[in-house]
Structure formats: C-alpha cells, structure tokens
Homo-oligomer: A and B are copies of this chain.
Amino acid sequence: MGKVTKASPFAPASMPAVPAIDGVRFATAEAGIRYQGRTDLLLAVLDPGTVVAGVTTRSKTCSAPVLWCRKQLAHGRARALVVNSGNSNAFTGRKGHEAVAATVAAAAKAAGCSPEEIYVASTGVIGEPIDAGKIVAAMPGLAKGLKGEAWEAAARAIMTTDTYPKLAVTEVAIGGEKVRIAGFCKGAGMIAPDMATMLCFIFTDAAIAQPLLQQLVSVIADQTFNCITVDGDTSTSDTVLVFATGAAGKRKVPAIHDQTDAACEAFVGGLRRVMHDLAIQVVKDGEGLSKFVTVNVWGAESARAARRIAFSIANSLILKTAIAGEDPNWGRVVMAVGKSGEAADRDRLAIRFGPHLVAQNGERAPDYVEETVAAYMKNPEIVLHVDVGVGGGQATVWTCDLTHDYVSINADYRS
C-alpha cells in the first residue's frame, strides 16, 4: 500500500453492530497473498437454498473471478463466497482461470457443494499471477472457524487502500416478521463503477425469487454504486453480489416472487438503504480525500444527460483540486458543464454552493460574496447544485476532492 495511511476524516468512530443473519457464516485468515500481519482471505458459507444476484464491471479487461461469477449468476444458486485482497487476479491469462478453478474446487470441498455454487472475488494489484496454493491451503482451517457474527472481520479481510471497514445493516418487516439485510464492501481508489462497484457483498435471510432479486440489484446498483466516483477510473474487478438465504421462510416469513408482492416494497427499501449506505462509505474513504462532495444536476435534457453532466463535474481534476484548496472556484463548474457535451443554456445556468447562489442567468449572481462562499467551503461536506436550464432531467452523483495524499498513495501503491 501507499505511503499515506492516515484514516479518512469520515472514518466512523465505531462500527455498527451487525447481528448474524440466518444461513450466513464467515471465517477469515492470514493467507499471506501479498500483505503480512493482516487477514487477506474471506470464506462465507451459505445454507442450502441460497440464491444470489449481482452486477459486475463492464470493463473490457475484467478479471478471471469476474468472468467466473458472471457465468454462475446465470443459475444464481450459491453455497459459498471466497474473497482475497492483495491481488486482483486480473490480466493473468490462463493462469488466472486456473487459480479460480483451484480456489472453487477447494471451497466446494470445504462447503460440501458443487464448484458452480462457489463465487469468487479478488482485489489488489493487476497483472501479477496469484498463488492459489495459499488460498487452497487455508481453506480447511477457514471451514472449521465459521461464525455468524464475524461481519467486521469479514469486511476487514477484503480491504486494500481502504482506511476503515465498510458495513451496513437494516431490518425490514415482511409479513409482520423482521428480515435482515446486511453487507460490506471495499474500495477507495480506481472508483468509477460502471454498472457495478468495487467489491460489495450483501446478505439477507429474505426468501426471494432469484430473477426478481437480480432485477432489483441491477436497478439499485445503477442508482447507488453507479453514481459514485473517486478518480474516474473503473476497476477490472468491480463486483456486487447479494445473497438471499431464504432462512426467514422457516419463521413463516412469506417469500417474495415479483414486484407486485406487498413485501417487495419493504425489501426494496431496505436493500436500497444498505446499498446506498455502502456506496457513500466508499466515497467517504476515497483515497486521500479531505471533503465529501454531492453533485446535484437538474434542468438537463434527460436523466442520462444530467448524469453525464454530474460526472463531468465530479471527475474534473481542476475542480476537485480547487475543492481540496477550499476555493469556491465555481468557474470550474461552468467549465465542466461546458465540456460534458450535453445541452446546457449558458444564459440560464444557475449554480449554488450549498445554500449560496453563486451564478445565475449566465453570470455571477449579483449578491455573490466570495467570503461567504469561501467560509462554506471549509465544511467537510460540500453540496453543488447546478441547474443547466434546458429540461427536466435530474441526477445526483457523489464524489470527493483530490488532494496531495491521492498523489502520494498512487505514486507508490506497489512499492
């Protein structure tokens, strides 16, 4: 990892207490894949009957584990998940596929299931062959140490440049019974997910049909993980998997079969809370960040156009560095709107920094007072509102500033 190891200013003071979810158990190990003196391997074992849905990176150079997961998501049955940090097993050719095959064989033996029911994810350096032998050797020990409450340990084992583990939990009422949805994710740099994110794993005891779960995960990922960016760089390994054990069925909780089921709305609300929470936590641990930035765009030709404008703003280096310097440099917002390529009416453009109107009708707002907005920029959380004045399209994107620490971390990630 890089030279900068100070915690994000948004690191939570304490971790949320996440209770066990029926049918889900975790174990972690120090496999020594790249890091020393910390866990880097996670095994999650799921009870029979678990279904899984997910989305993966659209990268054209995606990793071997991503290709494996995509194939298994077609049937959506799951009995175990293996995740390692330190090596992404991406761009590793035939050796990469062999490493996945060895991993799933060992995990299938440990979990007592078929290899097709094993899901694999890897994160870390790209292009370095991974030593699957270390994963295989650790598997029997992991299988003996499985525990339902080991959420924080699981979240820690998958970290790379993250400065804190990212956990979220919620409960929803289905048929008068509580059903839990909880998960964790990792990611701090190379964050500009495209139909997915870095690694994110969510678990629920809800009983839900796999095709419906897949549909929900795709839609919600698009509204959460696909609306964040740290550096505009899309990983080769982005993976979101949501496992539903169905164990709530044993408590007579009704199963959810389609979107018209009464219980579906509650489940969707809960899943959205957990996914949104985890996506925001990724940005709040953005490499080297000092500020968390929300970009709201409206008045665009379409929601798609609004999103492109919002990302043009959120990915602008020259604006992100200005925010790091607490400079209310709204001219750079104008620049980013202009370069997005989407329609905008320069003479109706309005920009607010938090509550402060800085520009309207194509020029600086008459009441603009630089000192007031400069004072606002000292807040750790900044909200930019941009009305481009041509239509009804709206989008929100979450990002962070770009600091010296981002450069330090990434100028020396591998060494």
Contacts known (A233-B318, A340-B60); A335 close to B410, Cβ less than 8 A: no
User: CA of A233 to CA of B57 in the docked complex: distance in angstroms?
Assistant: 25
How many copies of the chain does the oligomer comprise? 2
Bound state CA distance, A412 and B334, in angstroms? Answer: 18
Asked whether A337 lies within 8 Å of B127 as measured between CB atoms, the reply is: no
Whether the pair A317, B232 counts as a contact (CB closer than 8 A) is yes
**Contact in complex: B127, A363 (CB < 8 Å):** yes
Contact of A96 with B335 in the complex, beta carbons under 8 Å: no
**C-alpha gap A318/B404 in the complex (Å):** 13
Known: A61-B344, A318-B189, A344-B61. A234 touches B338 (CB 8 A): yes
Within 8 A of B (CB), among A76-113: 88, 90-96
- Whether A347 sits at the interface, judged by CB under 8 Å, is yes
- Closest B residue, CB atoms, query A370: B414
A336 at the interface (CB under 8 A from B): yes
- Whether a CB of chain B sits under 8 angstroms from the CB of A402 is yes
CB-CB < 8 A to A88: which residues of B?
331
- CB contacts (< 8 Å) of A407 on chain B: these are 321, 324, 402-404, 406-407
Contact (A93, B362) CB under 8 Å given A125-B331, A338-B62: yes
A341 to B60, CA, bound (A): 7
Give the number of residues in A that approach B within 8 Å (Cβ atoms): 75
Cβ contact within 8 Å between B344 and A413:
no
Assuming A327-B414, A334-B126, is B96 touching A363 (CB within 8 A)? yes
A342 (CB) vs chain B CBs: closest residue: B60
A325 interface residue per 8 A CB criterion = yes
A415 and B327 contacting across the interface, CB-CB below 8 Å: yes
Cα A235 to Cα B318 in complex, Å, equals 11
Report B-chain residues with C-beta under 8 Å of the C-beta of A10.
none
| Known A61-B349, A317-B232, A335-B234; contact A361-B408, beta-carbon cutoff 8 A | no
- Min CB distance A236 to B, Å, is 6
A68 contacts the other chain (CB 8 A): no
| A316 contacts partner chain B, Cβ-Cβ < 8 Å | yes
Complex contact A127–B404 (CB within 8 A)? no
Partner of A338, one of B61, B318, B337, B409: B61
Can you list 17 residue pairs at the A/B interface with Cβ under 8 Å? A60-B344, A61-B337, A92-B364, A93-B347, A127-B330, A231-B317, A231-B318, A232-B317, A233-B316, A233-B318, A236-B334, A317-B410, A321-B406, A321-B410, A325-B411, A327-B413, A327-B414
